[in-house]
Amino acid sequence: MLTRKQHELLMFIDRHLRDTGFSPSFEEMKEALKLRSKSGIHRLITALEERGFLRRRAHRARALEVIRLPESTAPATLARAEPAPAARPAFAPNVIRGTFASNLPGVARGANEAAAVHLPLYGRIAAGQPIEALRDQGTSVEVPAALLGGGEHYALEVSGDSMEGAGILDGDTVIIRRDDMAENGSVVVALVDEAEVTLKRLRRKGNSIALEAANPRYETRIFGPDRVKVQGRLVGLLRRY
């Protein structure tokens, strides 16, 4: 899942490559997306590269290669891009409460009488660069009630490898307890600039907030306190083999 700006940039680069045979300049990309600075383009390209949509060719200027397009745009092979879809709603999960008495809706009991609860499953959250985390309507994941405590919970699918040092791998499902506070060093869902979310370890350094990866390939990102809001903290993880 891409943000609207990531999708727009990917489509623009693909069109430019097909029309001219070479990738657009940063200035052209900035103008096409109506951004104020080239740093925003650099961040978007890094996110697309990490998620496997773009590749930068080393030692060559203006050398971007589109590896793949979103499935909704190109089901089988790379095709001429369609207009970017309208922006989807911002991340605002409607979570369910984690008070799991056996008479609550959504709670089931298996043969071993172990209670389970169905949590709403939201979109893929980047464990690399931030992306939007949007709810996949109607999708849920069954979680053992013993894994949860009190409070409100939801699930997110992880995309990327920047938290692998914390045992969180690409494709894992993380269980998040909704909270706007977290202890220093906690793994959290963080809302950045009221637009994007990411899964990172939270570090407070004076008046700054650092979002720290658990992979040396990724740099720690530091923000002012007014740019980051905690949306929840990690309480569990599910993995399919």
Residue 126 CB burial class (10 angstroms; 0-12, 13-18, ≥19): buried
CA distances to 32, 106, 122 from 139, rounded to whole Å, are 35, 13, 8
User: 201-221 as b/e, with b when 16 or more CB fall inside 10 Å?
Assistant: bbeeeeeebbbbbbeeebeeb
One of 23, 30, 159, 200 is an active-site residue; which one? 200
Does the annotation count 5 as an active-site position?
Answer: no
Q: What radius of gyration do the chain's Cα atoms show?
A: 20
- Six-digit token pair at 156? 């997110």
- Six-digit token pair at 147? 């894994």
One of 162, 186, 205, 208 is an active-site residue; which one? 162
Does the annotation count 140 as an active-site position?
Answer: no
Query: Which position has the token pair 């399919």?
Result: 240
| Cα–Cα distance, 52 to 4 (Å, whole number) | 17
Directed axis angle between helix 4-20 and helix 38-50, to 10°?
A: 90
Active-site residues: which are they? 162, 200
